[in-house]
Each structure stands twice: as C-alpha cells, then as structure tokens.
C-alpha cells in the first residue's frame, strides 16, 4: 500500500485522500488519468520515471477533450510526482497514477460548470499480465469505442468500461488478453495496450485513426525498431485475419510493457513460440526503461538527485 498521495493541492497521508460517494466522477466517469511507470535500476541504486513529461502532455490532451483546464504546468506535475516518489522511497518498479476528476458532489451528467481536482498516487507494480513471454489473445466480441462516441485518444475514466468488458470476457474465455476491433472490423488495440504484428520482416501497427490510445510505449517501440534494429515500421489498418497469418505479434503499453503473443484465437502465431523481432525489441525496451542505454537517458528521470 502507498503511504502518501497528492490530493487537493498537497501531499497527504493516503488515508486522508478520500472522496464522497456523491463525487461526480465516481457517478458519471467524468475524469481522465495516466499510467506512468518508474523502473528500479539496482546497479545505480536509482528509480527512473519513464517518459514522464510525455505522459503529462497526454494528460493535458485528455483534459482538453473533456473541457478541463489543467492549472498545473507539466513541470509542476513532474516535480510533484518526483516529490511523491521521494516520500514513498520505493526501491522497486512502481506504477504512478495521476487522476483528474470532477470533484463536485452533485447530480446531473455534463462536463461544464464542474470543479476538477488532481490526485496522484504510486504503487509498487510488477507484471500486468503474467504471460509476458507468450500470451494467448482472443478477439473480443466488444468493439472499440469510436472517436465520435467516447474518444479513445483521451484516457477517460468512464470510457474504460469498454476495456473492462473486453478484458473480463477474454479472461473468462480462457485468454490472457483481448484484441478489440473497430466498428468497421479492423484491429484497434488490446484492452489496455497497443498492438503490433510482424509480417515479412516489417513491423505493422494500426494508425492513430483506428480508435487507439496514442500510446507512448507504441511510439517508443516505433523509434527503437527503426533506430536500433533498422526495421521497417508501417502504420496501416490491420484486418482481423492478418492476426492469424502474422509471423509475430505483441502488445505494448506502460502496464503490459512488451508482451509477446504466441497464440491468437487458438491459432499459433508464426511458430507458436516467441518470435525473434518481438524478443529483441522487448530486450532493448527493458534496457531503455531501466536507464541502461545512455542514448535514451533523456526519457528516464531519476527520482533521487
């Protein structure tokens, strides 16, 4: 359990960070959030927050879509997060959850005339899905929320019911994770992660117009694939059956990190074993997030000075 939280403008003991059952965001899902990871580097005795600035820029993007004026600068958000982590003193991998929520205790669904509040907490965190080296994914019967329904581009608390429905269906059906299609039947993403496939040596991922969250890990993987592995990366719509004939497939996201998919809908992906491209990208990703590749140190903010 965390010991502290940023709540109503200050760092407080976690027990004091409580909201009423009347809270607008609790009733109507009117909030937006981020998920940021910090990685412990044992050799350097240092916790590194990965791409913190980009996550807070995306939080700002979510607030814009929800008519919320975020009064904190990105620099203030980063400094507050570092202060919280220093107070917690974690020496292990950690997940940071910034949340902007409509704090009013009132009835009536809307986005205007409401008071947003910011909260941040951080918890020790390991794997998001157990089988990161070989997951079985199932195509969901639930479709991804459309940009004109509940925009996936924003990390909107209420919209995550779509992810919840897909995830629980997948797990109850014996899969590790869901793959969710758009309304017109193209591959969008996983329940809480972006998706890549490999065909003929090229890395392919749905473009940002396929109702995906514009993932920071997705962007990281695209850059690492091009710059570290000289791979061709193609952003284009993916048909469902391309999943069944792909040579490799993997999920990526802050939570899931890089999770290799070895089966989709009871069919082996490629050989049915973790593929070489996914494996290599996963390895380089973990080196980068732990601050082991100096070239990418600007992505890793040390918590202790």
Ligand X SMILES: Cc1ncc(COP(=O)(O)O)c(C=O)c1O
Distance, CA of 75 to CA of 52 (rounded, Å): 10
- Any idea what the Cα angle at residue 123 is, between residues 130 and 250, rounded to 5°? 30
SS3 83: helix
Residue 131 a catalytic site member:
no
Distance, CA of 135 to CA of 280 (rounded, Å): 17
Minimum CB separation of residue 251 from ligand X in Å reads 9
What length is written for the chain?
305
Minimum CB separation of residue 111 from ligand X in Å reads 21
Residue with tokens 């996914």: 278
Distance, CA of 80 to CA of 276 (rounded, Å): 40
Smaller CB separation from ligand X, 103 or 258: 258
Binding-site ranges for ligand X (CB under 6 A) = 35, 163, 189, 192-194, 213, 215-218, 253-255
Minimum CB separation of residue 181 from ligand X in Å reads 14
C-alpha pair distances (Å), 305 with each of 46, 47, 79, 98, 123: 9, 10, 12, 22, 21
Minimum CB separation of residue 121 from ligand X in Å reads 16
Smaller CB separation from ligand X, 30 or 163: 163
Smaller CB separation from ligand X, 195 or 264: 195
Smaller CB separation from ligand X, 80 or 211: 211
Task: Answer yes or no: are the C-beta atoms of 205 and 235 closer than 8 Å.
Answer: yes
Q: Identify the active-site residue in 3, 87, 131, 155.
A: 155
Instruction: Give the active site residues.
Output: 155
């Amino acid at each position: 359990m965390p010991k502290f939280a940023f709540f109503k403008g200050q760092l407080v003991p976690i027990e004091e960070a409580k909201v009423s059952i009347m809270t607008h965001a609790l009733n109507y899902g009117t909030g937006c959030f981020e998920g940021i990871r910090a990685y412990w580097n044992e050799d350097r005795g240092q916790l590194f927050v990965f791409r913190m600035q980009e996550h807070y820029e995306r939080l700002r993007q979510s607030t814009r879509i929800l008519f919320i004026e975020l009064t904190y600068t990105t620099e203030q958000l980063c400094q507050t997060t570092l202060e919280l982590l220093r107070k917690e003193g974690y020496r292990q991998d950690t997940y940071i959850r910034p949340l902007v929520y409509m704090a009013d205790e009132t009835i009536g669904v809307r986005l205007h005339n409401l008071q947003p509040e910011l909260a941040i907490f951080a918890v020790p965190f390991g794997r998001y899905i157990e089988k990161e080296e070989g997951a079985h994914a199932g195509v969901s019967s639930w479709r991804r929320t459309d940009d004109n329904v509940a925009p996936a581009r924003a990390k909107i608390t209420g919209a995550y019911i779509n992810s919840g429905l897909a995830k629980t269906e997948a797990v109850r059906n014996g899969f590790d994770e869901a793959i969710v299609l758009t309304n017109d039947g193209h591959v969008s993403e996983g329940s809480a992660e972006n998706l890549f496939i490999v065909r003929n040596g090229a890395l392919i991922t749905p473009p940002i117009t396929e109702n995906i969250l514009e993932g920071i890990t997705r962007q990281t993987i695209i850059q690492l694939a091009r710059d570290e592995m000289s791979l061709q990366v193609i952003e284009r719509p993916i048909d469902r059956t391309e999943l069944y004939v792909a040579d490799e497939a993997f999920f990526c996201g802050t939570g899931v990190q890089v999770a290799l998919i070895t089966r989709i809908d009871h069919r082996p992906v490629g050989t049915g074993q973790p593929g070489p491209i996914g494996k290599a990208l996963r390895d380089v990703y973990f080196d980068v997030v732990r601050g082991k590749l100096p070239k990418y140190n600007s992505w890793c903010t040390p918590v202790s000075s």
